[in-house]
Amino acid sequence: MPMVGEGRGKIVNEGRAYKKIFIYIPKEVATDTSFPFKIGEHVKIRIYEKKLVIEKLKEPPQDVPSSDRFAK
């Protein structure tokens, strides 16, 4: 079965004590062989020309505490 690389996600506000926004990536996209990210990996997120751009960071940021919550 060929990998798809496209699907429908969802933006969810999960903040209770403070605001946290999550973007759910559908399994069809996350399991695609060309999906460039690993669980728990730090990423750079920006808005460019009305599009959300997510890029790999070369090294983890110093100001963000590491968390095993999302690691495998």
Which secondary structure element, helix H or strand E, spans residue 30, and what is its range?
Answer: helix 27-30
pLDDT in tens, 37-55: 998 888 999 999 999 999 9
Residue 48: enclosing H or E segment and its boundaries?
strand 43-48
What whole-number distance in Å separates Cα of residue 39 and Cα of residue 30? 10
Sorting pLDDT into bands at 50, 70 and 90, what band is 72?
Answer: very low
pTM over 0.75: no
Question: For the ranges 28-32, 51-55, 56-60, which has the lowest average pLDDT?
Answer: 56-60
Mean pLDDT of the chain: 81
Q: Are 55 and 44 in contact (CB under 8 A)?
A: yes
Per-residue pLDDT, averaged over 11-22, amounts to 81
Percent of the chain scoring above 90 in pLDDT:
38
